[in-house]
């Protein structure tokens, strides 16, 4: 294998990793995972999003975020879509996370009554 072949292989691996992790996705979901949010149930909420992505939800980058200082609103989920104003959901349960996936991420319809104004 020539040095150029090695570089091409490394480049292809890096691109596959970037795409595989969802770094180029047009939708980003951040679940609050500070200690206080985990105590409020955010770990279960995160698992709902992780499962959806494993089961084929595409074009979504999922990550965690730290404390926002709004303990009364936890667990929180923030959805950021390219070209749109970010949407922050409060007091999210596993059932709400499923609905956020179906309505907001798949159909583009924010669920206004659950958002932080």
Backbone angles phi and psi of 85, in degrees to 5: -75, 135
Q: What is the CATH number of the domain that holds 84?
A: 3.40.30.10
Residues spanned by the domain of 71? 24-114
In a domain, 57, yes or no: yes
State residue 61's pLDDT score. Answer: 95
In a domain, 12, yes or no: no
Sorted by sequence, the CB contacts under 8 Å of residue 116 that are 6+ apart come out as 70, 73, 76, 88, 89, 90
Q: Based on the structure, what is the number of domains in the chain?
A: 1
In a domain, 60, yes or no: yes
Contact assessment for residue 40 and residue 67, using Cβ atoms and an 8 Å cutoff: no
In a domain, 89, yes or no: yes
Tens digits of residue pLDDT in 64-98:
999 888 888 999 999 999 899 999 999 999 999 99
Tens digits of residue pLDDT in 2-57:
999 999 999 999 988 888 777 889 999 999 999 999 999 999 999 999 999 999 99
Sorted by sequence, the CB contacts under 8 Å of residue 66 that are 6+ apart come out as 32, 33, 34
């Amino acid at each position: 294998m020539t040095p150029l072949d090695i570089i091409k292989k490394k480049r292809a691996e890096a691109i596959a990793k970037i795409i595989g992790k969802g770094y180029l996705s047009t939708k980003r979901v951040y679940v609050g995972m500070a200690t206080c949010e985990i105590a409020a149930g955010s770990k279960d909420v995160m698992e709902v999003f992780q499962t959806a992505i494993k089961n084929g939800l595409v074009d979504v980058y999922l990550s965690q975020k730290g404390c926002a200082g709004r303990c009364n609103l936890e667990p929180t989920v923030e959805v950021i879509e390219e070209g749109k104003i970010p949407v922050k959901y409060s007091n999210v349960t596993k059932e709400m996370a499923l609905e956020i996936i179906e309505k907001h991420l798949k159909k583009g319809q924010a669920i206004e009554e659950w958002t932080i104004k």
